[in-house]
Amino acid sequence: MSSIFDTIHHRLSQAIQCTDIPEDVFNGLRYPEKTLAVNLVIRRDDRSFVNFKAWRCQYDSSRGPTKGGIRFHPSVCMDEVMHLAFLMTIKCAIAGLPFGGAKGGVCVDVKKLSEHELERLARAYIKAFASMVGPDKDIPAPDMYTGGAVLAWMADEFDRIQGKKYRAALTGKPVAMNGSQGRIEATGLGGYYVLNTMIESGLCSGESLKIGFQGFGNVASFCARYLAEDGHRIVAVSDSSACLFCAEGLDVEALIRYKDEQRRFSDYEQEKVEVLEPAEVLTIDCDILAPAALADQIHKDNAGQIKASVILELANAPVTEEADSILQDNNVVVIPDVLANSGGVIVSYFEWVQNRTGDYWQKEYVFERLRKQIEKAAADVVCCKEEYQVESLRTAAYILALKEIAEVIMAKNVK
């Protein structure tokens, strides 16, 4: 059995053991409903051909059409896609969305593609999986290295294949193509709202917190901006080249401008700012650590060195199962990914609703609806933790999700 399913089964069983949720629910989530693997062939600008492995997984559709992003990254593999689709299933249930979970991916280094080659790849992907996609079947969205431009090409290609306009078939589109206001900020802003809810609930403290971010892409930069505006100190940020550290607090706006110029942190020079190795961001002295890069960054070999008292999982699965146990023993509160980074899928849901109704919302209204929905989800997880007397927020989140999924499954079937 793949290690990915070992992790899925373990986390499901931890939640099921604490409740009276039927074993049938667990069995139904042990493996995905459907996973399709294809070989994408595109022509390079020099007229040669190149192949890329690609996948789409629809994990569970109990609660509605499946929903999940498409990731372009050289580390993407089928196990990762299935794991991320499982997490989307849990995430949508916690957020109260009428969706199941899905995910897609292509094993590719987009930095080695021209813009024209990237467009051909985006169109080839949606062409290969068009039979799975649709506003009532499976709704793709952006993920790592697939932003608005990639989704615009995909949406255009899907419409061309179908011979009609399907505004709600994909989300995360540019606003000019019926995308939602606020989608770019959504995941980072959602993480900010979740953290504030946890502070208000008493699960973590504070005023003027010291915060470190592993990764400084779209999600981390927006979350850092909102937290800095509240008076918290962003003491460390990292990219793949370096970690920047300043005990007095970094200038977040200056760093955002620096990264917009596509510059590496290893070249950053400013008085009082130390340039460290990238991995050092995980073990710096801070109150809150926000991993916002790749999976499995906090593991059994470094979990014991974590100095933060709270981990805000902005990335998907940044903490391994073994590290979870170590952090729990060390009284480190982990705010799980299935809650902390759900702002993106919530606003994707808003886009789907707007596309279907033709009623488009202003950014302020989107943000207010996001705040209410994600704060409710965070409060529900806290209540679940207290009700079932479980030690971790992750287990509480899984209990909440399984209860939501079980309710639908039981309603559909004769008792």
State which of 340, 373, 394 marks the end of a domain. Answer: 340
What is the side-by-side strand order in the sheet with 243-245? Answer: 274-276, 243-245, 233-238, 210-214, 288-291, 310-312, 333-335
Distance CA 302, CA 297 (A): 9
Three-class DSSP category at 99: coil
Residue 19 in domain = no
CA atoms within 13 A of residue 144's CA, in its CB half-sphere: 27
Q: Tell whether 46 and 154 lie within a shared domain.
A: yes
Q: How many domains does the chain have?
A: 2
What is the CATH classification number for the domain harbouring 68?
3.40.50.10860
Query: Is the distance from CB of 2 to CB of 79 less than 8 angstroms?
Result: yes
CA distance 187 to 63: 22
Could you say which of 123, 151, 177 is where a domain stops? Answer: 177
Residue 395 within a domain: no
* One domain, residues 130 and 73: yes
Tell whether 160 is covered by a domain: yes
Mean pLDDT, residues 119-148 taken together = 96
Q: pLDDT confidence of 377, banded at 50, 70, 90?
A: very high
In this structure, are 173 and 93 located in the same domain?
yes
Asked if residue 302 belongs to a domain, the reply is: yes
The sign of the CA dihedral 141, 147, 150, 155 is: positive
- The whole-angstrom separation of Cα 175 and Cα 183 is 9
In a domain? residue 77: yes
Give 280-322 pLDDT, tens digit per residue: 999 999 999 999 998 999 999 999 999 999 999 999 999 999 9
Tokens of 11: 């986390």
The tens digit of pLDDT for each residue in 179-218 reads 999 999 999 999 999 999 999 888 777 678 999 999 999 9
Tell me how far apart the alpha carbons of residues 76 and 54 are, in angstroms, rounded to a whole number: 9
- Count other Cβ atoms within 10 Å, centred on residue 219: 27
Full domain range(s) for residue 166: 28-177
Q: Are residues 74 and 51 in the same domain?
A: yes
- Residues 241, 105, single domain; the answer is no
Four-CA torsion 266, 72, 120, 58, nearest 10 degrees: -170
Is 388 part of any domain? no
Same domain, yes or no: 219 and 247: yes
pLDDT score recorded for residue 397: 96
d(CA 239, CA 197): 28
Tens digits of residue pLDDT in 4-63 = 788 888 888 888 888 888 877 778 888 999 999 999 999 999 999 999 999 999 999 999
Same-domain check for residues 32 and 147 = yes
Same domain for 114 and 247, yes or no, is: no
Catalytic sites, residue numbers:
103
Residue 96: partners with Cβ closer than 8 Å, 6 or more residues away: 373, 376, 377, 404
**Of the residues 160, 177, 194, which one is the last residue of a structural domain?**
177
Q: Are residues 231 and 168 in the same domain?
A: no
CATH code (residue 211):
3.40.50.720
First-to-final CA distance of the chain: 32
Compute CA 405 distance to the chain's CA centroid, rounded to the nearest angstrom.
20
Could you tell me if residue 148 is inside a domain? yes
What does the pLDDT read at residue 1?
A: 39
Mean pLDDT in the chain?
Answer: 94
On whether both 44 and 133 belong to a single domain, the answer is yes
Kindly state whether residue 382 falls inside one of the protein's structural domains: no
Q: What's the pTM?
A: 0.94
Same domain, 136 and 45: yes
Do residues 141 and 223 both lie within one domain? Answer: no
